[in-house]
Amino acid sequence: MPEQRKFAVVAAFIALCVIWSSTWLAIKIGLQDLPPISFAALRFVIAIIALLAVSIGRVPLLPRNRADWALLAFTGVLMFAVNYGLLFWGELHVSSGLAAVLQAIIPVAGMVFAHWLLPSEPMRWQRVGGAVLAVGGVALICGRLLDHGGIITFWAGLAIVFGGAGAAFSNVLLKRRALALAPAMIAAWQMIFGTVPLLSIGLVHDGNPLRFHWSSLAVVCLLYLAIIGSALAFLLLYWLLPRMPVNNLQTISLITPPGAVAIGWLLGGETFTSWSLVGGALVLAGVWMIFRKLEPSGKSRAETDLSPAVPQP
């Protein structure tokens, strides 16, 4: 039985890495037919339905008080409306692999926010050094985007970074105030609050979703992102949390960006300049330095850094 359990844990971890490495390309392919804001909104509408379906009758569905409602609303807008809205728009102009690397800024920004908001997590020199490396890598990538892709590509890369910073702030706020709510419902309520503005903007800007170009590939990408990339990945993550050390799970943040680059290159025909790859290596080295010295903090919400949007799309 222990061997079977070990095999299940390893299989779930590998599946999570593959899923979160592949979602970036699924976004890129879906954007060929679907407008970014509505694409993101529809993804989460389906994901919300899936999360509710597995939660009803099993866990409490509602937050306990107004403060919890307010926290879920604010962090939901940051995580899903701001972060994913900018990410989906940014991938119109930036390759899926580079988008994944740029979103690796999330743990860097999270470290800075945690220093100010979580007294138990002060910055240390190793983390500061990692942050400097990662920010230098982001600056190098954005500079190359400006040189080779023009101003709109530069702003797309910057938007992805800005959205990632919003997601990091959301994570720290959740870690600062632990919610007495099942993880699946925390994600579901965040998605609900974040999806409302996405849907509203999409309806005004993109029009009636029924009139979109619903190619078979667009439908497949949407369902893959919603069911596999959101609902299933989230459930896998929280199945793994009590069965793996948090520090081991955090390595997903190092595995998925190069995984996304490889999948984008193999299946999406994406190409990358040498400078972009150097910048990506700096970002990952910085993230590794930040995680390398992290110490488990009991059952605190350190795992929040690995929610389905951190940094996975």
* Contact (Cβ atoms closer than 8 angstroms) between residue 17 and residue 188: no
Render pLDDT for 180-222 as a digit per residue (tens, 0 to 9): 888 888 889 999 999 999 999 999 999 999 999 999 999 999 9
Query: What are all long-range contacts of 1-6, with beta carbons under 8 Å and residues at least 24 apart?
Result: 5/243
Which parts of the chain have pLDDT scores under 70?
1, 241, 245-248, 250, 293-312
Residue 236 confidence (pLDDT): 86
Helix crossing, 183-205 with 233-240: angle to 10°? 160
Give the whole-angstrom CA distance, residue 221 versus residue 297. Answer: 37
Q: Give me the domain span that covers residue 193.
A: 2-306
Q: Say if 90 falls within a structural domain.
A: yes
Neighbouring residues of 18: CB distance < 8 A, sequence distance ≥ 6? 259
**Is there a domain that residue 312 lies in?**
no
**For position 280, what pLDDT does the model report?**
86
Q: For the chain, what is the largest distance between any 2 Cα atoms, rounded to a whole number of angstroms? A: 57
pTM, 2 dp: 0.85
pLDDT at residue 277, as a whole number: 85
Establish if 313 belongs to a structural domain.
no
Residue 311 in any domain: the answer is no
Total of domains in the chain: 1
